[in-house]
Amino acid sequence: MSALLFCALALVRGWTRLSTWRMDPASRDDRRAEIESDLWEFHEDARRRGSSPERIAIHMLARLFAGIPDDVRWRVEYEQEPAHRRPSWLTAAAAAGAAGIAALWVGFLVSTFASLPPLPDSGAVVRVFLRTTPAPPPPPPPPLTPFRVGMSRVQPPPPPPSPR
Amino acid sequence: MHQRGAAEFHGYEMAKTLGDAADTRLLTAYGTLYRALGRLEKMGLVTSRWEDPHVPARENRPGRRLYMLTALGEAAADAARGAETASSPKRARRRLAPA
């Protein structure tokens, strides 16, 4: 199986799982099984006709993307059916819970920022980062040692005689 | 499907028949096809059943959901075909001609 065909199959299956998420088990399983059967039939039919795996994958993806608006409408229609509509108190509770969590999060952020020390003004920050450092001190002079000039060894001059 | 005398058909078979009839390469999209079949079933024009699980197990493939036209569906299909023939006789004649 080619990588493209593998990706196409995974995308179709993934989208079907997503579009049937949280449906009643019977409708969900029917839809998933129906799409799985269609994928198998199409793959086998195209393979018998000698289509390449890439061609099969592109056709699957085209069928998937062209059908997404209808999948969304189908799901919206399903949710609007009285048998599947969630009770209003449950929707209200979920909305209140989400709003409460959002409020807690905002409160936490506000209290965190309030407890921080005040930020320095930008001028001070620039001065700190652009301050010129003093030049390093010059290195100490090297000690006097005998040195060679050409092939002869040059001795340093003898110290002058001390007066008595 | 009704014209071909198929008593029962599954989703892919339907898509393929529609594609052949319209002479298009791209088959009906998954979402469009199964939404339409679901609506037809709700309207009482088709009924569906899952095939006997022994058959797909023996053939090593997923099970098919088989659709069948109801009496109401057959009447609606005949009416739609009559209306189509009346509105565009040339087109209908071309479709019905043998390949």
* Side-chain half-sphere exposure of A27, counting CA atoms within 13 A: 15
Q: Note the pLDDT of residue B99.
A: 44
Burial class from Cβ neighbours inside 10 Å (0-12, 13-18, 19+) for residue A13 reads: middle
The one-digit pLDDT tens for each residue of chain B (99 residues) are 656 566 899 999 999 999 988 888 889 999 999 999 999 999 999 999 999 999 999 999 999 999 999 999 999 988 988 887 887 655 545 555 454
pTM check: above 0.80: no
Is the pLDDT reported for residue A149 higher than 60? no
Q: How far apart are the first and last CA of chain A?
A: 108
In chain A, residues with a C-beta closer than 8 Å to the C-beta of B60 are none
The pairing of strands B9-10 and B65-69 is: antiparallel
Span A67-108, pLDDT tens digits: 999 999 999 999 888 887 766 777 677 778 778 877 887 887
- A44-53, A104-113, A115-124 — which one is most confidently predicted on average? A44-53
In chain A, residues with a C-beta closer than 8 Å to the C-beta of B12 are 37-38, 41-42, 45
CB contact under 8 A, A74 and B38: yes
Residue of A nearest to B25 (CA): A59
Q: Can you give the C-alpha Rg of chain B in angstroms?
A: 15
B63: tokens are 């099970």
Asked whether this complex has an ipTM greater than 0.85, the answer is no
What is the nearest CA distance from A22 to chain B, expressed in angstroms? Answer: 18
- The pLDDT confidence band at residue A126, using thresholds 50, 70 and 90, is low
Q: Contact A54/A2 with Cβ under 8 angstroms?
A: yes
Q: Note the pLDDT of residue B88.
A: 67
In chain B, residues with a C-beta closer than 8 Å to the C-beta of A78 are none
The residue among A9, A38, A68 with the most chain B CBs within 10 A of its CB, best to mutate, is A38
Query: How many Cβ pairs closer than 8 A exist between chain A and B?
Result: 76
DSSP A51: -
In chain B, residues with a C-beta closer than 8 Å to the C-beta of A83 are none
Among the residue ranges A37-51, A102-116, B12-26, the one predicted with the least confidence is A102-116
Among the residue ranges A39-43, A75-79, A133-137, the one predicted with the least confidence is A133-137
**Interface check B27 vs A, CB under 8 A:** yes
